[in-house]
Amino acid sequence: MSVRVGILGATGAVGQRFIQLLDDHPTFDLAAVTASADSAGKTYREAAKWRVNTAIPDDVAEMEVAETTPAGIADADVDLLFSSLPSGVAAEVEPAFLEEGYVVSSNSSNDRLAEDVPLTIPEINPGHLDLIEVQRDERGWDGALVKNPNCSTITMVPTLAAIDEFGLESVRVSTLQAVSGAGYSGVTSMEIIDNAIPHIGGEEEKMETESRKLLGEFDGAEVHLHGADVAASCNRIPTLDGHLENVFAEFAEDPSPADLREAMRSSTSTAPTSPPPVTGSPRSTATWRTCSRSSPRTLRRPTSARRCARSRARGTSPARPISSSRCSARTSRSARSPASTAPTRTAWGSSPAACRRPTPARSTTASRTTRSAARRAPRS
């Protein structure tokens, strides 16, 4: 069974990576690519400045780029949209698709901490997808918005999930992040060559909050953030791809190194889905895995009268809707008693901004005292 998908913002760096990963995919069939109005109407080959180290798939190269609006992809009959839009653009554009009934899986950072938006890693918290029903009730749309976390967070959390059984209480992480994480034009050569930038704007806050939401518990009405104290120090280094993280964790229990090794060895969360192999890449031995706890139908776009009519005109069947069943544990926000909140979980407020824990005081280090080095003039 194939799922027809589209990519919003397909000509950018992240959109190009989506195209590479979707090429010859066993489940997803790419049916639409969108970009700005300037690129709309061109073939993908003409519109994209291709920078990925493999060739543009032949069938994609000749696809016509649509404008990033619901009207632009109305004839594509897609079940699922992958959004690779810049966060500022996504905040304005994604709601229009959601109101038209589309299911959007978004790589953009906007709304990751919204109380009714699932932030998911399929191997870690697939149950959080039930938050979609809460989202639809509160926002009054037939679509569904799902977010994936920040790149550094998605690297750290699977390991933390594997050892959370020992009572995770504190996490301290220091990252060394490649320039690709900032996008093609994110860091200038004069800033990064022969240098390390000891601050990445917004990155630390994302790691400190998103990790707690991913590890939190969904009670049928909302996600309660994990109670661990998380503090991050994020640094940009002059490598092209790949992030290195040094993570220090403290627990309520006193696990031995052998206990931790066994927990990680036996956990499925530490073996996340691998991308398909890239020809000629050193990682060409990677294998494709599919998370057994998720189903393509889970994120199918719901049926609407308008879509049914369009499908009948083509002689095709519309995608099946997401089940409307509710989690049995779900209660209304007004009726839920304080006792229903687990004592080890703390909700920090009712808005994304309020969910951010105050940044803990940090000890002065050489890297912290040289934050201004990122902005200083290059040495002569």
**CA dihedral (289, 152, 113, 30) positive or negative:** negative
Does residue 243 carry a catalytic annotation? yes
151 is catalytic: yes
Q: Which of 25, 151, 291, 327 is catalytic?
A: 151
Between CA 15 and CA 194 the distance in angstroms is 30
What residues are paired with 3 via a beta bridge? 28
10 Å CB burial of residue 94 (0-12, 13-18, 19+) is buried
Given the residues 243, 308, 327, 355, the one annotated as active site: 243
The Cα–Cα gap between 282 and 264 comes to 25
CA 245 to chain centre: 18
Determine the Cα–Cα distance for residues 171 and 145; give it in Å rounded to an integer: 29
Distance CA 226, CA 209 (A): 9
Q: Is there a contact between 70 and 93 (Cβ–Cβ < 8 Å)?
A: no
CA 68/CA 183 separation, integer angstroms: 20
Q: Provide the annotated active-site residues.
A: 151, 243
